[in-house]
Amino acid sequence: MRQATLRTTVLTLTLAALFAAPQLRAEDLLQIYREAQQNDPTLAAARASWAATQELVPQARSALLPNVNGAASANLNNFSETIRTDPQTDISNRTFRLGSLSVSAAQPLYRVANKVAYDQAKQQVAQADYTLSSAQQDLILRVAQAYFDVLLAEFNVELAESQKTAVSEQLAQAKRNFEVGVATITDTNEAQAKYDSIVAQEITARNDLDNRRTALRAIIGRMPQSLKRVGRGFEPADPTPNSLDYWVDKALVENLAVKIAAYNYDIATLEVDRQRAGHLPTIDLVGSYSLQAGNGATNISAGFDLHQAQIGVQLNVPIYQGGFVDSKVRQAISLQDNARQNLEVARRVALFNAQTGYSGVTSAVASVKAFEQAVVSAQVAYDSNRLGQEVGVRTTLDVLNTQQNVFQARRDLAQSYFNYLVGVLRLKAAIGTLSEQDLEEINRRLAG
C-alpha cells in the first residue's frame, strides 16, 4: 500500500514537471499548423505544382478540337516600269492597293496519339491530387515533429536547471562537511566534477533548444512563442485496431506514395501506346476560305476580287521516319518497366513504414509504462542513498549517481511520450489517412 502511494506521488511530481499547467497565452499545435499552412514554402510549391498540373487536361483536349486560323494583309504597292526602245523610252508608274483575308480550319478525325495524350493528362491531374495530399501530410508530420522537439528541448533545459540546483546543494553540503571534518576532500571534488558536467549539459540543452526553435521557424516563417504542453490526463493507447495485418494491408492499398507510383505506371503504360501510334495514319477534316481584292496589280490595271473556298479530308500515312518511332517505343517500354519497379519499391516502403509505425506506437506505449516505473524506482534508489549518506554507509558520489539516474529516467519518460504522439501520426500517414482531424485530436490533449 505504501509502495503504491509512493509511486503515485513520484509520478505526480514528474508529470507536473513534464506536463505544465495551463498556459493562457501559449500557442497550441493547431495554431502552429494553421500558420504553417499559410507560410510553409514547401507546401506552397506543392500547391503551385498542383495548379499547373490542372492545365494539362485543357491542353491535351485542345489537340482533339478544331484548330482555326485566320490571316489578313493589306499592302500599298508602287509599280514603276521603264521600257527603252530606240528611238523612244516608255515609262509606266502607278500605285495600287492589295488586300487579302483567309481562314483555315482543321478537325482531327482520327489521331490515336492525341487521344492517348488526353487520357494521360487526366491521369496526371488525378495523380496531382494525391501528390498535394502527400505534401499536406508531410507538413502535418513536420509541424508535429518540430513542435514536440521544441517541447522536449524546453523540458531538457528545465531538467538541466533542476539537476544543477540539486547538485549545487550536494556540492555545498560536501564543502560544509569537509570544513567540519566529517567528510574527505574526495566528496567535494566528486560533487564539483558532477556540477561542472551538469553546467556543460545545460549549455548543450540550451543550444539544442535554439536549434529546435529555429527548425520550427523555418516552417512557419517566424520564431515561435511559448508552446502549450501535453495535458496531465494523457494516457497512451495501442493502435485501433490493434492488429499489424490491418495496418500493413491498408498501407499496400491506401498509402499515398503507392497511389502516386501506381499513377506513374499507368501514365507510362499509356506513353507506350502513344508512341506506337506514331506508326498509325492520321485523318483530319480540313477547310479554308480566302478572299483577295485590289484596285490593280503588276499585270492588271483594273480592280478585282478573288474568292476561294475548299473543304475535304486529309490523310497522312507515315511510311518511313528513320527508325525514330521504333526508338521512341523502345524508350517508352523501358520507362514503363522503370515505373513498374518504382511501384514495387513504393509498396515495400509502405509495408515497412506501416510495420515500423505500428511497432513504434505499441513499443512507445510500453515504453511510457516502463519509464514511469523507472522514474519511481530511480527515485526510491535516490532516497535510499540519501538516507544511507546520512548514516554514513553511502558516499556523495553514490547519491549523485542515483540522482543522475532520476533525471535520466524523467528525460526518457518525456521522450517516450513525444515518440508516441509523433508515432501515431506517422502510422496514420503510412496508410494515407493522416489529416488535420488527427492533429486536432492531439491538440485537445494539450493544456488549455
From first to last of its 448 residues, the chain has per-residue pLDDT tens of 445 554 555 555 555 555 554 455 789 999 999 999 999 999 999 999 999 999 999 999 999 999 999 999 998 887 776 777 767 666 667 778 888 999 999 999 999 999 999 999 999 999 999 999 999 999 999 999 999 999 999 999 999 998 888 888 878 887 887 888 766 788 788 888 888 988 999 999 999 999 999 999 999 999 998 999 887 767 899 999 999 999 999 999 999 999 999 999 999 999 999 999 999 999 999 999 999 988 877 666 677 888 999 999 999 999 999 999 999 999 999 999 999 999 999 999 999 999 999 999 999 999 999 999 999 999 999 899 888 877 777 877 788 888 889 999 999 999 999 999 999 999 999 999 999 999 999 988 776 4
Rounded distance between C-alpha atoms, residue 200 and residue 194, angstroms? 10
What residues contact residue 210 under an 8 Å CB cut-off, 6+ apart?
none
Pairwise CA distance, residues 171 & 180, whole Å: 14
Q: Which of 270, 299, 317 is the last residue of a domain?
A: 317
Q: How far, in Å, CA of 380 to CA of 6, rounded? A: 9
Residue 22: what pLDDT? Answer: 47
State CA 187 to chain mean position distance: 54
Residue 90: what pLDDT? Answer: 63
Could you list the residue range(s) of the whole structural domain that residue 123 is in? 2-64+111-279+321-443
Asked if residue 448 is part of any domain, the answer here is no
User: What does the pLDDT read at residue 165?
Assistant: 87
Structure confidence at residue 55 (pLDDT): 98
Domain stop point among 297, 317, 337: 317
Candidates 97, 12, 122, 10; CA nearest to 296 is 97
Q: What per-residue confidence (pLDDT) applies to 4? A: 52
For residues 84 and 12, state if they share a domain.
no
The verdict on 134 and 232 lying in the same domain is yes
Q: What is the CATH number of the domain that holds 19?
A: 1.20.1600.10
- Residues 104 and 24 placed together within one structural domain of the fold: no
- For residue 26, the surrounding DSSP H or E stretch is none
Q: Give the cell for residue 59.
A: 491542353
Q: How far apart are CA 47 and CA 43, in angstroms?
A: 6
CA terminus-to-terminus distance, the chain: 34
Q: How far is the C-alpha of 208 from the C-alpha of 216, rounded, in Å?
A: 13
